[in-house]
Amino acid sequence: DTVLTQSPALAVSPGERVSISCRASEGVNSYMHWYQQKPGQQPKLLIYKASNLASGVPARFSGSGSGTDFTLTIDPVEADDTATYFCQQTWNDPLTFGSGTKLEIK
Amino acid sequence: EVQLQQSGAELVKPGASVKLSCKTSGYTFSNYYMSWLKQMPGQNIEWIGNIFGGNGGAGYNQKFKGKATLTVDKSSSTAYMDLSSLTSEDSAVYFCARRGNWGYFDYWGQGVMVTVS
């Protein structure tokens, strides 16, 4: 299975820019997607196919990358962005998720 | 408005089975795949499998073959997942999610907690 590696946690202050990385163990073309999950809630799609903003998602969120290295950027960060962020690949079978990056807003 | 409404929390005994439901509205059920996913407390999300609303054709993650069985009822736009021979390792939150064109999940159910004890 394709393993997606994310850093476990980050802490930033409101108004700053934060980049969350996701590295795949093998190429996934541009079939990388990003989700935000708050405690007790279902995940919410933020970015699909590496760099496309999902409907209703603020333009503060953006995505980049291809192949094996991908980045989700939030600029500027707001207090409400406290959550865990997951990457997901759908190029290789089975589709897999990263272990998540917990973002803390100082 | 697209909505996926899952059934309530389940407490089941080891060795038993459970059937979870995901009732949809706001879109054409038969045009999309529905996936089921597992999330253990504080852990990663695992994809169990997906099923096409139009004909009930299903595909599974090898890890969950024999554990999960996916079905649909087109008449009520509802997807189901049967989990069998439950153990403590099956205690988790289970989500249904609509699968979009490139495999991402654009709409999710609220999740249902299954406790095996």
Residue of B nearest to A32 (CA): B104
The Cα of A50 is separated from the nearest Cα of chain B by a number of Å equal to 11
CB contact under 8 A, B102 and A54: no
For residues A106 and A9, give the distance between their C-alpha atoms in angstroms, rounded to a whole number: 13
Q: What is the DSSP letter of A34?
A: E
Position A101, amino acid: T
B90 phi/psi in degrees, rounded to 5: -90, -5
Work out the average pLDDT over B104-113. Answer: 98
Find out whether the peptide bond into B14 is cis, omega within 30 degrees of 0: no
Cβ contact B73:B80 at 8 Å: yes
> Minimal CA–CA distance to B67: which of B52, B34, B89, B51?
B89
Predicted local confidence at residue A99, as pLDDT: 95
Cβ contact B74:B53 at 8 Å: yes
Q: What is the DSSP letter of B9?
A: P
B31 phi/psi in degrees, rounded to 5: -95, -5
- Mean pLDDT taken over chain B: 96
**How many beta carbons lie within 10 A of that of residue A61, not counting itself?**
18
Q: What is the DSSP letter of B65?
A: B
A55-67 confidence digits (pLDDT tens): 999 999 999 999 9
For residues A73 and A67, give the distance between their C-alpha atoms in angstroms, rounded to a whole number: 18
Work out the average pLDDT over A82-98. Answer: 97
Predicted local confidence at residue A37, as pLDDT: 97
For residues A84 and A35, give the distance between their C-alpha atoms in angstroms, rounded to a whole number: 8
Interface list for chain B against chain A, based on CB atoms closer than 8 Å: 43-47, 61-63, 95, 97, 100, 102-106, 108-111
The Cα of A34 is separated from the nearest Cα of chain B by a number of Å equal to 9
B57-88 confidence digits (pLDDT tens): 999 999 999 999 999 999 999 999 999 999 99
Predicted local confidence at residue B39, as pLDDT: 97
Q: For residue A85, which residues of chain B lie inside 8 Å, CB to CB?
A: none
**How many beta carbons lie within 10 A of that of residue B9, not counting itself?**
11
Helix (H, G, I), strand (E, B) or coil at B31: helix
Work out the average pLDDT over B5-9. Answer: 96
Can you say how many angstroms the Cα of residue A92 is from the centroid of all Cα atoms in its chain? 18
